[in-house]
Amino acid sequence: MMKKSLSGLSLAYLLLVLGFIYLPIVIMTAMAFNESSSYALPFRFSTKWFEQLASNDILLRAGWNSVLLAAANTVVATVLGTMTAIAFARYTFRGKVLLQILLFPPIAIPWLILATAMLIFFFYSGIGRGLHAMLLAHVALSLPYVIVIVGARLQSFGTDLEEAAATLGASPLQTFFRVTLPTIAPGVMAAALFAFGISFDQFVTSYFLSPPGVTTLPVEIYASIRKGFTPEINAISAIIILVSMLLLLAVSRFYRFAGNS
Amino acid sequence: MSTVEIRGVSKRYGSVAALDDVSLEFADGEFFGLLGPSGSGKTTLLRSIAGFVEPDRGSIHVGGEEIARVPIYRRDIGMVFQNYALFPHMSVSDNIAFGLSVRGIGREEIRARVEDALKLVRLEGYGERRPRQLSGGQQQRVALARAVVSRPRVLLLDEPLGALDKNLRQQMQIELKQIQRLVGITTVLVTHDQEEALTLSDRIAVFNQGRVIQAGTPGEIYDSPRSAFVADFMGEANFFIGRVARRQGDEMQIVLDDGAAVMASGPSRLAENAAVRLVVRPEKMSISASEASIPPHHANRLAATVEQVVFMGSSITYRLNCAGAEVSVYQQNQDPPRAAEGGAVWISWRATDTIPVDD
């Protein structure tokens, strides 16, 4: 397709959309560096909210919990989901279609409903509440996304590469690690990022499943806002934004490296 | 010794017999072509040898060893896929080295053998490129180098030239044949292109509906087709239908449906009065303007009308009407034109070029 330059009107529209997305984030990040606790102007640069954050044990512990939980969820959901996607794409077995259909309702059902169901089930089954229960819930929520994303990548490659590897003498394990995994790596990375995001951002299930004293960052931010807002929240949000941007950048670089080859 | 023996192999998919009691033998170092229309079973047989398809019945032996229970990756085969199936995340060298590296061969030996393989397919200096940076013909050569570098017992080619344009395909056919001679690996080629099968193969098996209809050298298959299907599939064929009127040793006189008599010469199982279908190849026939100018050794002569003259460059194709039947005749371009459209002519051929076939 021929590349045309944008007209003035389209450019203005594009800026409007970008502003709609990024303006609140920019203002929040700026306010994390403003000395006033009540968003008062003029802007006076200060890092005092970051210093206060560094001594806010509750918020830091919640943040640490969130990172741990999201990391564990990423590993578990990505490994399980990739294995499932491969089973769906490369094998035939009884009940496969039923299982594939059952994948989609969890994506469509509101998280609030799923979280309620999990709370009740975990209560009766003796799993209870806590980080282990949250991990179970987060894995259950992110699995369908991982399977769909990795599955799409698997579909776009036929079985030819794997068959070629087998004829060349590669065992199934060698074929997986040297051919299948490298070719689907961009899909797996994207899925892992998704899984991390779903867990790190998860409020509803974590809120329901957190016992007193054990919270995650979204739950704690919610609690602090209810107690009375402080720009410490801006500070931690700014950190999170920075980290997620860097993460995305890293992944997109990886995508360019492995995806187009 | 890397002979391949296929013994009574059958494979059904639902109610369709993909392979129906197929038995074949490929000699050591032989280039064997499996030819047939799509869905005729040739690819199923190739994939059975590779191990992707498990036959329902029968057995496959490579070098005397039954391979049914040998997993694909221990069968010691090389395969070139229709779309080449090069690993996109590896360089050309790493693609070729893959089979050696998974077998745990040392770094130095791998490098030397990859160099040799690149030289074999005339791609020296391309080792560091990625497959997507190569043309279709070059990718095809990489796929071939990758398949032969570990010196497999059997080389399987699945429509290897199907994705190339015509000129490149002809050039690659010659190269493929040279390389196969050089490495001497028993090779099985699957193709639906009869010209490709004729050019490349030492022997050919023609498939239809899961069965081997006829197997033999390209010359045997083309010059002595046993059935109308083979005659029609291998090049163009003119058909005549008649009845055996007289038989004396190898000489037969056949009376066609319109009353004309045709001579056939050659061994045959047909008895007198049996219904018979005859095949005559278009290039074996001559066109003469008058009955007097028919070549004297041509025992068969029929009157015909020219319907169409098609100039093909190196040859000219005449479409004629011969007593209601359509007949094609090829004439070399070096001969002077013998007929114009609408003209009345004689077509003639030798008795030995009349081939009786089964229906």
Q: What is the CATH number of the domain that holds A224?
A: 1.10.3720.10
pLDDT reading at A243 higher than 90? no
Distance (Å) from the alpha carbon of A169 to chain B's nearest alpha carbon: 4
pTM score, whole prediction:
0.80
A contacts of B103 (beta carbons < 8 Å): 169
Distance (Å) from the alpha carbon of B20 to chain A's nearest alpha carbon: 25
pLDDT reading at B222 higher than 80? yes
Contact across the interface for A168 and B89, Cβ inside 8 Å? no
Give domain status of residue A32, yes or no. Answer: no
What chain A residue is nearest to B87 in terms of C-alpha separation?
A: A161
Rg (alpha carbons) of chain A, rounded to whole number: 22
What chain B residue is nearest to A257 in terms of C-alpha separation?
A: B89
Q: Which pLDDT band, with edges at 50, 70 and 90, does B203 fall under?
A: very high
For the segment B27-41, the average pLDDT, to the nearest whole number, is 92
Q: Which pLDDT band, with edges at 50, 70 and 90, does B85 fall under?
A: very high
- Residues with Cβ within 8 Å of A213's Cβ and at least 6 positions away in sequence, in order, are none
More confident residue, B344 or B358: B344
Give the bridge partners for B328, in sequence order. B319
B contacts of A261 (beta carbons < 8 Å): 88-89, 130, 132
pLDDT in tens, B148-166: 999 999 999 999 888 788 8
Q: Name which of A167, A178, A261 is nearest B130 (Cβ-Cβ).
A: A261
For the segment A208-230, the average pLDDT, to the nearest whole number, is 82
What chain A residue is nearest to B83 in terms of C-alpha separation?
A: A160
Range of the domain at A75: 50-260
Is B230 touching A (CB cutoff 8 A)?
A: no
Pick from A154, A146, A156, A153: nearest CA to A192? A146
Q: Name which of B88, B89, B99 is nearest A168 (Cβ-Cβ).
A: B99
Give pLDDT, residue A91: 87
Contact across the interface for A168 and B85, Cβ inside 8 Å? no
- Residues with Cβ within 8 Å of B110's Cβ and at least 6 positions away in sequence, in order, are B97, B100, B101
Q: How many domains does chain A have?
A: 1
Tell me which residues of chain B, numbers 92 to 121, contact chain A at a CB-CB cutoff of 8 Å: 98-99, 102-103
Substitution target from A167, A178, A183, A188 for chain B, most B beta carbons within 10 A? A167
Give pLDDT, residue A55: 80
Contact across the interface for A167 and B72, Cβ inside 8 Å? yes
Residues of A with a Cβ under 8 Å from any B Cβ are: 160-161, 163-172, 174-175, 178-179, 182-183, 258, 261
Contact across the interface for A166 and B87, Cβ inside 8 Å? no
Give pLDDT, residue B6: 93
Among the ranges A5-9, A29-33, B132-136, which has the highest mean pLDDT value?
B132-136
Is B153 touching A (CB cutoff 8 A)?
A: no
A47-61, B147-161, B235-249: least confident range: A47-61
Is B18 touching A (CB cutoff 8 A)?
A: no
Is B128 touching A (CB cutoff 8 A)?
A: no
Please state, in angstroms and rounded to a whole number, the distance separating the CA atoms of residues B111 and B115. 6
Is B168 touching A (CB cutoff 8 A)?
A: no
Distance (Å) from the alpha carbon of B114 to chain A's nearest alpha carbon: 14
Is B133 touching A (CB cutoff 8 A)?
A: no
pLDDT reading at A258 higher than 50? no
Among the ranges A92-101, B45-54, B167-176, B292-301, which has the highest mean pLDDT value?
B45-54
A212-216, B144-148, B344-348: least confident range: A212-216
Residue A174 belongs to what H/E stretch? helix A172-175
Is residue B267 packed enough to be buried (19+ CB in 10 Å), middle (13-18) or exposed (0-12)? Answer: exposed
Give domain status of residue A10, yes or no. Answer: no
For the segment A82-104, the average pLDDT, to the nearest whole number, is 89
Percentage of residues of chain B with pLDDT beyond 90: 56
pLDDT reading at A261 higher than 50? no
Is B79 touching A (CB cutoff 8 A)?
A: yes
pLDDT reading at A260 higher than 50? no
Give domain status of residue A24, yes or no. Answer: no
Give pLDDT, residue A26: 87
A108-117, A205-214, B53-62: least confident range: A205-214
Give domain status of residue A35, yes or no. Answer: no
Is B75 touching A (CB cutoff 8 A)?
A: yes
Contact across the interface for A160 and B85, Cβ inside 8 Å? yes
Q: Name which of A160, A168, A169 is nearest B83 (Cβ-Cβ).
A: A160
SS3 A34: strand
Distance (Å) from the alpha carbon of B88 to chain A's nearest alpha carbon: 6
Give domain status of residue A5, yes or no. Answer: no
Q: What is the 3-state secondary structure (H, E, C) of chain B?
A: CCCEEEEEEEEEECCEEEEEEEEEEECCCCEEEEECCCCCCHHHHHHHHHCCCCCCEEEEEECCEECCCCCHHHCCEEEECCCCCCCCCCCHHHHHHHHHHCCCCCHHHHHHHHHHHHHHCCCCCCCCCCHHHCCHHHHHHHHHHHHHCCCCCEEEEECCCCCCCHHHHHHHHHHHHHHHHHHCCEEEEEECCHHHHHHHCCEEEEEECCEEEEEECHHHHHHCCCEHHHHHHCCCCEEEEEEEEEEECCEEEEEECCCCEEEEECCCCCCCCCEEEEEECHHHCEEECCHHHCCCCCCEEEEEEEEEEEECCCEEEEEEEECCEEEEEEEECCCCCCCCCCCEEEEEECHHHCEEEEC
Distance (Å) from the alpha carbon of A148 to chain B's nearest alpha carbon: 23
Give pLDDT, residue B335: 72
Q: Which letter, b or e, does each residue of B26-53 get, where b requires 16 or more Cβ atoms within 10 Å of its Cβ?
A: beebbbbbbbbeeebbbbbbbbbbbbbb
A59-63, B268-272, B335-339: least confident range: B335-339
Q: Name which of B73, B86, B156 is nearest A171 (Cβ-Cβ).
A: B73
What chain A residue is nearest to B49 in terms of C-alpha separation?
A: A167
SS3 A45: strand
A contacts of B50 (beta carbons < 8 Å): 163, 167
Give domain status of residue A27, yes or no. Answer: no
For strand B16-26 and strand B186-191, is the pairing parallel, antiparallel, or unpaired?
A: unpaired
Give pLDDT, residue A48: 77
Give pLDDT, residue B62: 92
Q: Which pLDDT band, with edges at 50, 70 and 90, does A259 fall under?
A: very low
What mean pLDDT is reported for chain A?
85
pLDDT reading at B111 higher than 70? yes
| Long-range Cβ pairs for the range B135-142 (8 Å, 24+) | B136/B163, B136/B164, B136/B168, B137/B164, B137/B168, B137/B171, B137/B172, B139/B84, B139/B86, B140/B80, B140/B84, B140/B164, B140/B172, B141/B175, B142/B84, B142/B86, B142/B92, B142/B95, B142/B96
For strand B154-158 and strand B77-80, is the pairing parallel, antiparallel, or unpaired?
A: parallel
Give pLDDT, residue B44: 94
Give domain status of residue A55, yes or no. Answer: yes
For strand B31-35 and strand B203-208, is the pairing parallel, antiparallel, or unpaired?
A: parallel
A contacts of B72 (beta carbons < 8 Å): 163, 166-167
Contact across the interface for A163 and B52, Cβ inside 8 Å? yes
What mean pLDDT is reported for chain B?
90
Is B51 touching A (CB cutoff 8 A)?
A: yes
Give domain status of residue A83, yes or no. Answer: yes
A contacts of B147 (beta carbons < 8 Å): 167-168
Q: Which pLDDT band, with edges at 50, 70 and 90, does A202 fall under?
A: confident
